[in-house]
Amino acid sequence: MTRKPEDPSHPLPEVAAQPAPDEARVVAAMDASPVTDAPGDPEDDATETIDVEVSLDETHDVVGAREGRLAIRAHLRHLPNGPGVYRMLDTKGEVLYVGKAKSLKKRVASYANGVFPSNRIARMVSETVNLEVVTTHTEVEALLLEANLIKRLKPRYNVLLRDDKSFPFIALSRRSAWVRIEKTRGAQAEPGDYFGPFASAGAVNRTLNTLQRAFLLRSCTDSVFQSRTRPCLLFQIKRCAAPCVGLISQDDYEHLVGQARAFLSGESQDVQRSLSSLMEDASQNLDFERAAVLRDRIRALSQVQAHQDINVTAVDEADVVAIHREGGMTCVQVFFFRAGQNWGNRAYFPRHDRNLETPEVLASFLAQFYDDKPVPRLVLTSVEVEGAELLEEALSLKANRRVHVQVPKRGDKLTLIEHAETNAREALGRRMAESATQERLLEGVAEAFGLDAAPARVEVYDNSHIMGTNAIGAMIVAGPEGMIKNGYRKFNIRSTTLTPGDDFGMMREVLSRRFARLAEEDPTRSSGHWPDLVVIDGGQGQLNVARQVMDEAGITDVPLVAIAKGPDRNAGRERFFMTDRPPFSLEQKSPVLYFLQRLRDEAHRFAIGTHRAKRAKDFLRSGLDDVAGIGPARKRALLNHFGSARGVADAGMSDLTRVEGISETVAKRIYDHFHPQG
């Protein structure tokens, strides 16, 4: 059985040929964590929120790689000629690069010959002091395992995909006897049918609204469904058949579910013809009310089919992937087509070595993209993908069916590609314009605050609470390419000694925890996660607290700025506080001031949103949650019987024992909880 390394700080011993993993295990590993790197030489980056670009001196002396070449050469005698995955480690045991090979001995030997295709690879070899190897049955397994390890270990010289956004799906959930239609993300563990992916929440919400009008399926939660005694508003506006109160039979409801499933599976024309036939029959029988309902359902289906940006008759299930490169930047545009319908598109912006050819970039992107996403039967690309046959085989193995990767040359499929290329070109143009503007603004920030250079990472902190309750600290991050959403952090205020509403104390806790963790995880500041500027929402008091925290942590080189609202909290009259200069303001029409206001407002929005979510969660928390021995089933039975937690609290012992599943012992425990003896 192949050993899968878990932690770069615990390197494997020098490995000779090992038994290879079975295919099921490799695919299971792929399903457990997202794909990342593609075959070939070390590369530099991949998608939407992608990071890590290795900057190298173009005149790098390859002689400096001599020690690394010797370290690699020392392992060659132990390497097999079969396929597998290798890991290069530095002096600290951290993984520098993960690669796959058809022949481990030949591939690794190429790093020891002193001839490197780029200075970046020479730098990687120069930092290598150890090598680890895992063998596999086939090169396809090696590709899957390589991607799995890259995603977990995040090697500095690999392409790192940090696309944390999961795609939404529409689910016909069978958690109860009455199927529920809903939007879902993440693991598809619940019983039911799943349709997707949709490119965005907006796309899936629009489709959901239309499907509710067309098929009248319930969308409420099970607890709401079970507690209804009369139809809700959705029934009144003809978006639900009201199965909760028995206004439709189980068989008729299942017929609606079957129609919805058929429509989402691509049989939309059959469903529409069936509804048209029923409408005509109702009209002939003078049942005009039923005919009107069927007419409205047909119109809803027509809206779904008509709401397409481009003609989709050429494909039934496919992803259309187009790549455009300009000015050293790349955009990959992906359109999703399922059931003959366009389910939206999304743009990704890989960062990579400029010397990489477009086929290499696209191959790397696709290998990462389909790790945690369902693979369609057809992937149409705008250019030939490097190693297309190997990628096809890997995707087919993951999908457990044949997958084709093609470059259309003519016809409707080529039209789809051309449309996607246009979108990629326009999206990249917008991104480049935004990036240029952002860089100019950051240069203005550096000038306004007297920094040596434009900050590459700005962290902004804010707190939110109501009279000290549900206190939250929030951090947002901005850089040359805009807001770095995957860098946002929230901090639940843990201290029990703080006076409610003590903003200074909360800021102290947030900054102390943030920089203590940074110092522990990255003492050398090589990860790129250390800020070049810290902005705090507040005045002189908050600045003093922040400065004290930094001094206690021994951090003296991170600039601090506090931004306070001006008189009467007027935007445009903000005051800025720094430790080495008196308070000052910026010109009211300054673009830099507008930029800083946006950063502050974004931090405030994030803090308020997080606080409200926490407050809502606490508000919805039932008093029954604190009663020992009351699990979800008993809690549901009590709430269904009494209507609310307050009703349970007011109930007597005899009332409690009438609830199914509540014994006298449990009833006494509940009663004693709400009626403690003095």
State how far the Cα of 226 lies from the Cα of 209, in Å rounded to an integer: 22
Element holding 514 (H helix, E strand)? helix 503-521
Q: How far is CA 613 from CA 221, 225, 465, in A?
A: 19, 24, 12
The neighbouring-strand residues paired with 366 are none
Position 97 pLDDT exceeds 70: yes
Task: Please tell me which residue, 385 or 238, carries the higher pLDDT value.
Answer: 385
State how far the Cα of 557 lies from the Cα of 579, in Å rounded to an integer: 12
Instruction: Determine what percent of the chain is predicted with pLDDT higher than 90.
Output: 22
**pLDDT value at residue 396:** 92
State how far the Cα of 321 lies from the Cα of 579, in Å rounded to an integer: 51
Element holding 669 (H helix, E strand)? helix 664-674
**pLDDT value at residue 44:** 36
**pLDDT value at residue 161:** 62
Instruction: Determine what percent of the chain is predicted with pLDDT higher than 70.
Output: 81
Q: What is the pTM of this model?
A: 0.63
Residues 6+ apart with CB under 8 A from 123: 54, 56, 60, 65
Element holding 469 (H helix, E strand)? strand 469-479
317-345 residue pLDDT tens: 899 999 999 877 889 999 988 877 788 88
177-225 residue pLDDT tens: 899 998 888 777 788 888 878 877 777 787 788 788 778 899 888 888 8
26-74 residue pLDDT tens: 333 333 333 333 334 433 333 343 333 333 333 344 555 778 888 888 8
Which region, left, alpha or beta, applies to residue 85 given φ > 0 means left and ψ of -120 to 50 means alpha?
beta
Burial class of residue 658 in the structure, from the number of CB atoms within 10 Å of its CB (0-12 exposed, 13-18 middle, 19+ buried):
exposed
**pLDDT value at residue 303:** 55
**pLDDT value at residue 367:** 84
CATH, range 23-153: 3.40.1440.10
458-618: what CATH class?
alpha beta
What's the DSSP call for residue 170?
E
Q: Determine contact, residues 518/529, Cβ cutoff 8 Å.
A: yes
Q: Is 197 helix (H, G, I), strand (E, B) or coil?
A: coil
458-618 and 623-674 share one fold: no
The per-residue pLDDT of the chain, averaged, comes to 79
CATH, range 623-674: 1.10.150.20
383-427 residue pLDDT tens: 999 888 999 999 999 889 999 999 999 888 898 999 999 999 998
The neighbouring-strand residues paired with 95 are 89
Q: Where are the alpha helices (DSSP H) in 287-374?
A: 288-306, 358-369
Position 675 pLDDT exceeds 70: yes
Q: Determine contact, residues 461/515, Cβ cutoff 8 Å.
A: no
CA 378 to chain centre: 24
Q: Determine contact, residues 146/370, Cβ cutoff 8 Å.
A: no
DSSP output for 383-394: SPPTTHHHHHHH
286 C-beta neighbours (distance < 10 Å), count: 8
Question: With bands split at pLDDT 50, 70 and 90, how would you rate the model's confidence at 571?
Answer: low
Peptide bond preceding 197 in cis form (omega within 30 of 0): yes
Position 100 pLDDT exceeds 60: yes
Q: Average pLDDT for residues 496-503, to the nearest whole number? A: 77
State how far the Cα of 614 lies from the Cα of 39, in Å rounded to an integer: 44
Question: With bands split at pLDDT 50, 70 and 90, how would you rate the model's confidence at 22?
Answer: very low
**pLDDT value at residue 671:** 84
Enumerate the domain spans of the chain: 23-153, 169-306, 319-329+347-367+375-429, 458-618, 623-674
State how far the Cα of 590 lies from the Cα of 491, in Å rounded to an integer: 32
Q: Average pLDDT for residues 108-123, to the nearest whole number? A: 82
- Taken in order 586, 590, 591, 597, the sign of the CA dihedral is positive
243-300 residue pLDDT tens: 998 898 989 899 888 888 887 776 656 666 676 777 777 777 776 766 776 676 666 5
Helices 139-153 and 388-399: crossing angle in degrees, nearest 10, is 80
**pLDDT value at residue 468:** 58
Two tokens at 17? 């040929």
Side by side, which strands form the sheet with 169-173?
180-184, 169-173, 192-195
Task: Please tell me which residue, 432 or 299, carries the higher pLDDT value.
Answer: 432
Of 422, 510, 426, 433, give the one whose Cα is nearest residue 465.
510
